[in-house]
Structure formats: C-alpha cells, structure tokens
Structure 1
Amino acid sequence: MAGGNSNYWEDLRKQARQLETELDLKLVSFSKLCTSYGASHDDHRGRGSDTTPLLSSSSQDRMLDTLGVEIEQLLAKLTSVNDRMAEYTNTPSVTSLNAAVMHTLQRHRDILQDYTHEFQKTKGNFLAVREREDLLGSLKKEIETYKSGTGVNNRRTELFLKENEHLRNSDRLIDDTISIAMATKENMTSQRGMLKSIQSRVNSLANRFPAVNSLIQRINLRKRRDSFVLGGVIGICTILLLLYAFH
C-alpha cells in the first residue's frame, strides 16, 4: 500500500487540518447568517412593513443554502480523510507507532463529530425559523387578502369583533361577580363558625349567670336581623352586576 510510509500519514493529517480550518470558518459564518436571518425577520415584523432587511429573504435563503451545501461537502471530504487515516493505522508497518497514531486519529474523529453536530444543530434551528417565517408570511397574506375585501365585509367583521369583545367582557364581569360572591360566602361561613364558638362560650356563661342570659337573647335577635339585611344587600348587588353585564 502506498500509504505505508510516514509521508502518506503526514499528508493525510495535513489534509485533515486544512479541512477542519475551512469547516471552522464556514460554520462560524453559517451560524452568524442563521442568527441574523431570524433577528432581521423579527425586527422587520416589530417595526412594521415600511422597513426592509438589509438582505431580502430570498437572498438570505440562497446564501444559507449555498453555504450549507459547502459545509456538507467539506464534512464528506473530512470523513473520507479520516477513513483513510483509519485504514493506515491498520497496516503492519505502523504497529510500533500504533498508540500515537490512534491518539491522533481519535482527535480528528472527535473534531469531525463536533463539527457535524454543530452544523446539524445550527441547520435545524435555521430550518425551524424559516418554516415559522413561511407560516407567518402565508398567514399575513391571507389576512391582507381578507382585509382587501369589500367595505361591507369589513364593516361586518368589525361588528362581529366588537360583539365578541363585548361578550368576553361580560363573561369576565360575571366571573368576577361569582368570585366576589364565593369569597363573601366563605367569609361569612368563617365568621359564622367563629360566632358559633363565641356563642357556645357565652351560653355556657349565661347558664351560670341568669342576668347575662337576657342580654344574650337580645344580641342574638339583633344579629339575625343584621344577617337578613346583609344578605338582602348582597343579593341586590349581585343582580345589578348581572344586569349590567348583559346590557
């Protein structure tokens, strides 16, 4: 085999290092382009349609596609070089240097694996961003097409939207009213439990002191009257809120 000498091994190492350098530079450029692609589209949507990116979407797509193909070709070449280096390590003439040679081969394999992983991750992110942009662009076109309809349709749509917003506000108001009622109920239940506990203790004392019993009866009578009035007020407020919500 022609690769049975050290010059062949050094040539392979030289090719591997050269390909790794090219890959490193192109991966950096590819990553920057992918980042600027997403940022430029987000900024364009944020500032409105009166501004345009420095590069059009089609130009960025072509640049990224071209650069992606170049990176894939370099990865394929580096894989081929690593395979030839692996074949070289299996030749009998390098048995005495096998440990050092295998260490070098493993290092180049690790570099190839890292570059492959980085490229696939960056490319995956870019494809996800482009798919999202295509979806948003299609949706924007549909909205613009819909808005370009007749004035009657636009007016009808506006009325539908207002009515929908009114219904949503009514739902929120009803939910708030129910929440207030539930909170009031819980509060009254808590107070009722506390009053029962106090009443139990007072009754115990009243049984011991007859003079106090008469006073407790008058307090209970007034408490029942106040509870009735409070319940009526809460019911009236709830009815008024519900009437307001549906008007």
Structure 2
Amino acid sequence: MEVPSSWDALRKQARKLEAQLDEQMNSYRKFVSAKGSTKVGTAENDLESGIDRLLKQLQQVNSQMQAWVSSGGSEMVSHTLTRHQEIFQDITQEFYRLRNSLRAKQEHASLLEDFREFDRTRVDLEDGVGSAENALLKEHAAVSRSTGQVDTVISQAQATLGALVIQRSTFGGINSKLSNIGSRLPTVNQMLSAIKRKKSMDTIILSLVASVCTFLIFIYWLSK
C-alpha cells in the first residue's frame, strides 16, 4: 500500500479501502447465510484473509490521519477523522460477529455429525457387526473433531481479543485528541483576555473624548 503524503491523499485512501471492505463484506454476509458445512473451504479462508488484510490497511491509514490531526488539524479535519474511525469500528465489529456466527454454525453441524457417528457405532456394536478396530477408529475421529472444536473456540477468543485491542486503540486516539484540544485552550484564553483589555481601553478613550467635548460645549455656553 502506498504511503499518502497529504490529508487529501489519506482521506482518498481511506474511502477506497472502505469501498473495498463494503464489497467484500456483502459477499461474506451471503457466504455466512448460506454456509452449512462443517469444513472450512478455500473460498472462505481467502475471503476472511482479504477482509482482515483490508482492515489492517484501513487501521494504518486511520492512524496516519490521527497523527495528522494531532499535529494541528482543523475542526473539520478532526470531524472527518472521527467519521472514518466510526466506519472502521463498525466494519470490524460486524466482521468478528459474522465470523463467530459462522464458527458457531460449523460447531453445531460438527456436533450433529458426531452424534450420528456415535449412534451408528452403537448400533453396529449392538448388532455385532462392527469390530473393535472400527470402533476405535471412529472414536479417534470423534476426538479429532472435538480437538477441532476446541481450536475454533480458541480462534473466537483471539478474535474477541483483537476487537478489544482495536477499541483500546480508538479510545487512545480520542484521548490524544482531547489532549491536543486542551493544549490549545491557554492560547485561546490569552486571545480572549487581549480582546477584553482592548475593549476596555476603547471604552475609556471614548469616555474621555465625550467628557472633553461636553466640557468644551459647557465653556462655550458660558462664554456667550
């Protein structure tokens, strides 16, 4: 990804990444809605990897925009950054929610498959058809699937941790913005004080001028 050299370039890059994420998220929503298999396919892995890569790129662009704002950006620029951060947060949370939903579907389908496999094994043993070796092989397959389910749970926990890290980064950016505004307040107060002093001086000068004019009119009236 190219490194933008100006605010306009950063904003353009952010919009481009958001459009690509929106397109891929639409495909991922349809994929999750139609998914019914227990196996993770190549298409699913490619789509998830692509979305994850775009999210990391968008996070990097948002960080560069945050640095730009912290160095002295205007209020309009700060508002634009906040909007891009909200979009990034919304897409990230939806992606993790859809991925967890997909993993839950796969786990449910896997449990049903294990139950059917167990039922077939029980029937075979009761009818005297299944051998001890086949039973052990089936049990080994069930254990392997259980291990896969544990890996899925760990993956979901890691995804949740990633979401929390992103939220912490967002809150850190907000704190930096508040600190930046706070550092500008003394300058604003000094400007307001200078304006008040100038206004007071103008009032005093006008009062003196009015007094002198009144005095001269009074002297002129007495001299007639």
Deviates more, 1:145-154 or 1:18-27: 145-154
Task: Please state how far the C-alpha of 1:153 moved relative to its aligned partner.
Answer: 8.4
1:67 aligns with 2:44: no
SS state at 2:125 partner: coil
Partners of 1:31 and 1:122 within 8 A in 2 = yes
Counterpart residue number, 2:211: none
Please, which of 105, 109, 121 is the counterpart of residue 133 of structure 1?
109
Please, which of 107, 110, 116 is the counterpart of residue 86 of structure 2?
110
Counterpart residue number, 1:123: 99
Counterpart residue number, 1:51: none
Partners of 1:75 and 1:112 within 8 A in 2 = yes
1:28 aligns with 2:26: yes
Q: Tell me how far apart the structure 2 counterparts of residues 122 and 130 of structure 1 sit (CA, whole Å).
A: 12
Cα-Cα RMSD: 2.5
Unaligned ranges ≥5, structure 2: 131-224
Counterpart residue number, 2:76: 100
Matches within 5 A, 1:184-223: none
Partners of 1:34 and 1:64 within 8 A in 2 = no
Counterpart residue number, 1:237: none
Task: Please state how far the C-alpha of 1:149 moved relative to its aligned partner.
Answer: 3.5
Matches within 5 A, 1:49-64: 58=39, 61-64=41-44
Q: Tell me how far apart the structure 2 counterparts of residues 150 and 114 of structure 1 sit (CA, whole Å).
A: 54
Task: Please state how far the C-alpha of 1:61 moved relative to its aligned partner.
Answer: 3.2
- The letter for the 2-side match of 1:111 is I
- The letter for the 1-side match of 2:13 is Q
Partners of 1:9 and 1:88 within 8 A in 2 = yes
Q: Tell me how far apart the structure 2 counterparts of residues 68 and 135 of structure 1 sit (CA, whole Å).
A: 24
Please, which of 149, 161, 165 is the counterpart of residue 125 of structure 2?
149
Please, which of 49, 67, 70 is the counterpart of residue 87 of structure 1?
67
CA displacement 1:105-135 (0-9 Å, x = unmatched): 0110110011011111111111111111111
- The letter for the 1-side match of 2:8 is E
Counterpart residue number, 1:204: none
Task: Please state how far the C-alpha of 1:146 moved relative to its aligned partner.
Answer: 2.3
Task: Please state how far the C-alpha of 1:87 moved relative to its aligned partner.
Answer: 0.4
Task: Please state how far the C-alpha of 1:150 moved relative to its aligned partner.
Answer: 5.5
Structure exhibiting the larger radius of gyration computed from Cα positions:
1
